[in-house]
Each structure stands twice: as C-alpha cells, then as structure tokens.
C-alpha cells in the first residue's frame, strides 16, 4: 500500500531522531571523538545501517521516506528508484516497494569485469530516477551517483536520505546547482533536540556536541 497520510515534516524529524537514538544508531562521545572518513574528528557518529535490523522502526521510516518524497517531489515524479552502493541499496528496495516502482542500484565504480557496469538492474533512457541513500554529509558521493545515472540517458533530479548532517554550509546549494533536490527525514539538530528532551546523554556531552555542530570546521577535542 502506498502511504499518503502521515505527520508533518517537523514531527517526522522528531520521531526519526528518537528512533535513531532508541536503537543506538547515534553515538556521542566527547572524551574519545570519532575519526570520520575525511580524517577529521568529531564527537558525533551515526550508523543508519542498524535500521535494517529493526523491522518496526525500519517500516515506519520507509513510510516516512515514501510520503516525504511524494510531498516534496511529486506523486508521479519518478519511474525508477536507485540505491547507492552499499548502504543505500536496502532502503532503495524498500522505498521502491512502497512507491510501486522498479528498483536499481549504482556502484561506486565499475566492477572491472563482465559488462563493467555501474548500474545494476534495468534503467532506460528517459527514465526519471530517484537516488536513495542512507545519509549525506557534504553531498559529494551523491554527485558521482547522479552522474552515473545520467550517463545512461536517464534523468536524476532528486535524492532522498534518512539522515542529513545539516551542519556544513552550502550542501543543498551544491546539489541544487547540479540539478538535484535533497529530501531528508532529520538532521543532527533534530537529534540533538531529541537527545536533550530524553536526557539520552549527560549534559557535558550534549554541550560539547552542540559546540561542534555550531562550528564543525573549527572544533577540536578538548
């Protein structure tokens, strides 16, 4: 069944943040910061992959994603749903099922043998493709996936994610300049607000996290 009636965007953001906290997908650690793929340190970490192991939360968030896509991009805006390798693949499959659309996935790079393809599944020229991923930080990996989709002759004007960092300047504009709309369920600010409301972490840790979120580029471990 295609979902059409759900809470407003702010309430979905609050509920999404709460679910991520509930399953331990959010980790704040001021004493031992995490090193991200960029090499930079931060007191925050999110692991959306955990969601696939929690059926009730997984189903609810995929319903949220489907209705957000229809509300923000249109009910008949897409012909195909593509997942980004690897974390986006299960979520793309679940969203495609809800929207009653074909599903494909995009490799990070050609596999190096056989057809040497980046697109797996059937994607055809002229199809309007929605890119689904678990999260986005600065949007860089999304542009690579979008370009691979467009090389097939299909179009890609939107990407949908569960989690958008929402703390780095210019990300949405960078995507927009590439002709891509960003649809997301929640950000670090939603998580911080819900963590404070729940008392999920000690006050000192939450203060450190807030300091980081306000100036991620300038933050250094204390």
What domain count does the chain have? 1
> Which CATH number is 197's domain given?
3.40.50.2020
pLDDT given at position 115:
62
pLDDT in tens, 3-14: 677 899 999 999
Q: Is residue 97 part of a domain?
A: yes
Neighbours of 47 (CB within 10 A): 16
Any domain includes 221: no
Q: What is the pTM of this model?
A: 0.94
Residues sharing a CB contact under 8 Å with residue 159, sequence separation 6 or more, in sequence order: 130, 131, 132, 133, 136, 142, 145, 146, 175, 180, 181, 182, 183
Lowest-confidence pick of 53-67, 101-115, 179-193 = 101-115
pLDDT above 80 for 38: no
Distance CA 184, CA 191 (A): 13
Evaluate if residue 165 carries a pLDDT over 80.
yes
- When pLDDT is cut at 50, 70 and 90, the band that residue 222 belongs to is confident
Q: Where does the pLDDT of residue 1 fall: very low under 50, low under 70, confident under 90, or very high at 90 and above? A: low
Q: Which residue range(s) make up the domain with 58?
A: 9-214
């Amino acid at each position: 069944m295609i979902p059409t009636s759900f809470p407003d965007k702010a309430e979905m953001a609050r509920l999404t943040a709460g679910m991520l906290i509930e399953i331990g997908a959010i980790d704040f650690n001021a004493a031992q910061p995490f090193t991200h793929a960029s090499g930079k340190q931060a007191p925050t970490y999110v692991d959306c992959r955990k969601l696939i192991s929690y059926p009730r939360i997984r189903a609810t968030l995929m319903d949220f994603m489907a209705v957000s896509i229809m509300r923000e991009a249109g009910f008949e805006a897409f012909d195909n749903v593509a997942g980004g390798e690897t974390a986006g693949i299960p979520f793309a499959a679940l969203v495609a099922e809800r929207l009653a659309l074909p599903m494909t996935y995009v490799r990070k790079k050609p596999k190096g043998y056989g057809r040497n393809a980046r697109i797996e599944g059937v994607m055809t020229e002229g199809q309007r493709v929605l890119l689904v991923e678990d999260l986005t930080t600065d949007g860089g990996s999304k542009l690579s996936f979008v370009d691979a989709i467009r090389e097939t002759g299909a179009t890609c004007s939107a990407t949908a994610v569960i989690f958008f960092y929402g703390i780095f300047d210019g990300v949405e504009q960078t995507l927009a300049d590439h002709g891509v709309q960003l649809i997301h369920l929640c950000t670090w600010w939603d998580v911080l607000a819900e963590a404070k409301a729940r008392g999920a972490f000690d006050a000192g840790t939450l203060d450190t996290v807030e300091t980081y979120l306000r100036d991620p580029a300038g933050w250094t471990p204390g």
